[in-house]
Amino acid sequence: MEHLVNSKVKEIEISGIRKFFNLVSDFDDVISLTIGQPDFATPEHVKEAGIKAIQENFTTYTHNAGYIELREAASQFVLKKYGLSYSPETEVITTVGASQAIDCTFRTLLEEGSEVILPSPVYPGYEPLIKLAGGVPIYVDTTKTDFKLTADLIAPYITENTRCVVLPYPSNPTGVTLNNEELRAIANLVRGKDLFILSDEIYSELVYDGTHHSIATYLRDQTIVINGLSKSHSMTGWRVGFLFAPESVAKHLLKVHQYNVSCATSIAQKAALEALTNGIDDANAMKNSYKERLEYVYDRLIKMGFDVVKPNGAFYLFPSIAQFNQTSFDFALSLVKNAGVALVPGNAFSEYGEGYVRLSYAYSMEQLKEAMDRMESYMNNFFN
């Protein structure tokens, strides 16, 4: 009966990140630096809010767009943190994680043949959702611009079919960010054109030097901002995300969201309210720890001879392995077999990720030190 399955579904594949994670899980004594999940527990006060919600029977449907108090808190959060102003009544939607927000956005905006411009290398979760919505992913090589999607890179790819440009910054897998000047240039390029910016800002609270900037500051009417609590508050399993969009678009996003999930989980929404109010700065301690880990791992990689762009956000490094004359998969597999360290092959992040590997430093310093020691021994034994 497989022939009856939607052809678009049959054409997409499981994420390359998960494929490699599953592959190496059969090996013994491997330090896996593959998954982008905070190694911190959800803050205690946030967990307590979730427990209290259960005890008080807050277990029914909420408004489709989410509990109004939560939408108000989300609106205040982005106003205070990033200077963005959205009406909680009509321009904020609580979603089941940022992933569902991305899915809703593509299904709302795209039609058959609509083109979506993506920086590459890029998180592999966008392409399948674009294709399922009938769109066409258009990859732009950013390896020559320190992984930044600039206005100059975007311009040649805009056609009459372009419906959306994705700006996923801070970036997974590279950790790079865009500054105000770069964002303004992109805003000036697309202003007035019949296309949207999807600004995926899930790592916005994990910017190390300076503060996070959103293109919605300069291009509000054409921007859909996606955010959530998975990375900022270590709430990956709670599945709480947010869509921020102009009312004229948000009312259509809400229809897709409604028929997809009805509403985000009521209990998780109560925990999220606590996170965005009493825990508004919870990410700071985690961010400081990540920065310490970044400095340590970056220095070790440089001393080993890797060429790597130093990131300013998220918790990833994306070193080049071009000098070793191996595919990213072969290099990563050899590293697992001979050093007991697992990194994600760069080709999991599109063809322009070939020649790189992704390292997540969202792990304890003890694990990172052991992993770097193992990698250093491997490099000395196999490449020196």
Q: Give the tens place of pLDDT for each residue, 306-320.
A: 999 999 999 999 999
**260, 308: one domain:** no
241-271 pLDDT per residue, tens: 999 999 999 999 999 999 999 999 999 999 9
Q: What's the CA gap between 372 and 296, in Å, rounded?
A: 9
User: Coil, helix or strand for 20?
Assistant: helix
Residue 5: what pLDDT?
83
Name the residue range of residue 90's domain. 44-276
**141, 272: one domain:** yes
Beta carbons within 8 Å of 271's beta carbon, 6+ residues apart: 42, 46, 47, 49, 50, 53, 235, 238, 240
Residue whose C-alpha is closest to residue 286's, from 203, 344, 225:
203
Q: What's the CA gap between 25 and 16, in Å, rounded?
A: 14
Q: Which one-letter amino acid corresponds to residue 154?
A: I
**224, 237: one domain:** yes
Q: Which H helix or E strand runs over 356?
A: none
| Gyration radius (Cα) of the chain, Å | 21
Residues of the chain with pLDDT under 50: none
**149, 286: one domain:** no
Which domain-ending residue is among 242, 276, 310? 276
**162, 35: one domain:** no
Domain harbouring 102, CATH code: 3.40.640.10
Q: What's the CA gap between 209 and 82, in Å, rounded?
A: 15
Residue 111: what pLDDT?
97
**323, 241: one domain:** no
Q: Which H helix or E strand runs over 163?
A: strand 162-167
Residue 18: what pLDDT?
72
Q: Is 285 left (phi over 0), alpha (psi -120 to 50) or beta?
A: alpha
φ and ψ of 223, to 5 deg = -115, 135
Q: Dig out the tokens for 98 from the structure.
A: 């940022």
**188, 322: one domain:** no
**241, 315: one domain:** no
N- to C-terminal Cα distance for the chain?
54
Number of folded domains in the chain? 2
**115, 227: one domain:** yes
Exposure on the CB side of residue 28, measured as CA atoms within 13 A: 0
Beta carbons within 8 Å of 98's beta carbon, 6+ residues apart: 200, 202, 226, 227, 228, 230, 241, 242
- Output the CA–CA distances (angstroms, integers) from residue 296 to 194, 204, 289, in the order listed: 45, 22, 11
The answer to whether the beta carbons of residues 72 and 224 sit under 8 Å apart is: no
Which domain-ending residue is among 238, 254, 276? 276
**64, 178: one domain:** yes
The answer to whether the beta carbons of residues 235 and 275 sit under 8 Å apart is: yes
Q: What's the CA gap between 365 and 40, in Å, rounded?
A: 12
Which domain-ending residue is among 241, 276, 311? 276
Residue 105: what pLDDT?
98
Rounded to 5, what percent of the chain is helix, strand, coil? Answer: 45, 15, 40
C-alpha torsion angle, residues 153, 156, 157, 159 (rounded to 10): 150
Residue 384: what pLDDT?
65
C-alpha torsion angle, residues 282, 284, 287, 293 (rounded to 10): -110
Q: Indicate the pTM of the whole model.
A: 0.95
**139, 14: one domain:** no
**170, 297: one domain:** no
The answer to whether the beta carbons of residues 163 and 137 sit under 8 Å apart is: no
Q: What's the CA gap between 214 and 183, in Å, rounded?
A: 8
> Angle, to 10 degrees, between the axis of helix 247-261 and the axis of helix 97-109?
120
φ and ψ of 196, to 5 deg = -110, 155
